[in-house]
Amino acid sequence: MVNFSFSDEQEYFRAMLREFSQSELLPHYTKWDRENTHPRHLWKKLGELGVNGLRIPEAFGGSGAECVTTGIAAEEIGRGDFNLTYGVMLNALISEILTNHATDQLKRTWLPEIANGNKIMGIAITEPAAGTDAAGIRSTAVHKGDKYILNGEKSGISVATIGDAFIVFAKTDLNSGSKGISAFVVPADLPGVECKGYEDMGNVPIGRGSIYLTDVEVPEENLIGLENNGFFQVMNGFDLSRLLIGLQCAGAAFQSLDETIEHVKTRHAFGKPLAKNQGVSFPIVTHYTQLELIKWQAYRGLWLRDKNKKHSKEASSVKWLGPKYAQEAIHECMLLNGHYAYTKEMPLEQRLRDVIGLEIGDGTAQANQMVIARELIGKEFKPY
């Protein structure tokens, strides 16, 4: 049996978030970018609405909702404020990693605070010399007594300047590649942790930056799961974040299309509405169609995850083409709105800048094509 419908509860959740996103997020979306500030109160508001704790079990302050429901949140928040979708995606990714692998003590300390929006946690894998090749990281964690001593540099990390803690990946065995990496919860206020922000093209309120670790003493209880297992613990989480990213981007692009459809129906040129020209309507149709394909592939991937079925190639297809199709759609919307859309009076130029960031973050097009090729053609044909 195939059933493409959402439950009544999910439809209600979508309608509630649509209303919130349109009335409370959209009118201020550009403000945080222009002022270079992070709206922490809105992150908390997402906590009140139950968005931050969707993938957190009820016992730890969340709702234990399905991945499909989390996708609805990513799409709807993406319509109002693309940058706040980091609250959906990062929280879902991090909550799953902690729920599945951390000690009860770590879960009790962090999960309720993530769910209510009081604390923001980031995930720090990338380094100056290791991005796509994540197993090539050089940060180290040395077990000494009841602590691990962390040293290294993390780069490109979302929420670097606003995060309260980070899941940091470091080598615990220098000679074992991906099998020598461990993950730790590192509070941002530990001595030896220094975070510096970037001047990014987009995603400005998210405070991306570098994290410098100098002889940071991390209690051994902060190790997540087993030593040397960190890489494999997070790789599974990426299948979730990649599907959510596709929906975040689709949400921002669908909103742009809706705004543009209104514009081309009311704006006249050569004595008729712009929409009467197929040179105007067909690009809109093309982008709408591409985004619908992404949306349904994303929900299918999330459904597969909810059913504990394989979904890596679905997730990678959505991560590869979702941000790409979304930025192409938003770009076209900008052009169809004419010169005003090139000003900062309108949100389109910002949406374009914001969405492009996630063509890189969480894996580039090529990184995701490698995942699909591995599954489609076979591991024995990996290039490395």
Ligand X SMILES: Cc1cc2nc3c(=O)[nH]c(=O)nc-3n(C[C@H](O)[C@H](O)[C@H](O)COP(=O)(O)OP(=O)(O)OC[C@H]3O[C@@H](n4cnc5c(N)ncnc54)[C@H](O)[C@@H]3O)c2cc1C
Binding residues for ligand X (CB under 6 A): 122-126, 131-132, 156-158, 203, 208, 357-358, 360-364, 366-367
Q: Give 123's strand partners.
A: 167
Least Cβ distance, residue 368 to ligand X (angstroms): 9
| In the complex, least distance from residue 87 CB atom to ligand X, rounded to whole angstroms | 13
- d(CA 328, CA 356) in angstroms, rounded, equals 10
DSSP codes of every residue in 171-238 = ESSTTSGGGGEEEEEEETTSTTEEEEE---SS-GGG--EEEEEEEEEEEGGGEESSTTBHHHHHHHHH
Q: Considering the complex, state which of residue 109 and residue 126 has its C-beta at the smaller distance from ligand X.
A: 126
Q: Least distance from C-beta 252 to ligand X, angstroms? A: 14
User: What is the C-alpha separation between 329 and 244, in angstroms, rounded?
Assistant: 18
**Smallest distance from the beta carbon of 207 to ligand X, in angstroms?**
11
Whether residue 172 contacts residue 181, with contact meaning beta carbons closer than 8 Å, is answered with: yes
Q: Report the residue number, 162 or 274, with the smaller CB distance to ligand X.
A: 162
CA dihedral 348, 25, 158, 87 (to 10 degrees): -140
Task: For ligand X, give the closer residue by CB, 50 or 202.
Answer: 202
> Which of 381, 370, 312, 373 is closest to 134 using CA atoms?
370
Q: What letter would DSSP give residue 135?
A: G
Whole-number Å distance between alpha carbons of 87 and 34 = 20
Instruction: Quote the least distance from Cβ 383 to ligand X, whole Å.
Output: 6
CB 31 → ligand X: shortest distance, Å? 20
Question: Between 239 and 362, whose beta carbon lies closer to ligand X?
Answer: 362
- CB-nearer residue toward ligand X: 39 or 361: 361
Quick one: 180 or 363, whose CB is closer to ligand X? 363
Smaller CB distance to ligand X: residue 223 or 367? 367
Minimum Å gap between C-beta 261 and ligand X is 28
Q: What DSSP string runs through 317-370?
A: HHHHHHHHHHHHHHHHHHHHTGGGGGSTTSSHHHHHHHHHHTTTTTS-HHHHHH
Residue number, nearest CB to ligand X: 131
- The residue among 166, 223, 157 whose CA lies nearest residue 190 is 166
Is residue 357 a contact partner of residue 232, using CB atoms and an 8 Å limit?
A: no
Measured from the CB of residue 358, what is the shortest distance to ligand X in angstroms? 6
Q: For ligand X, which is the closer residue by CB, 208 or 295?
A: 208
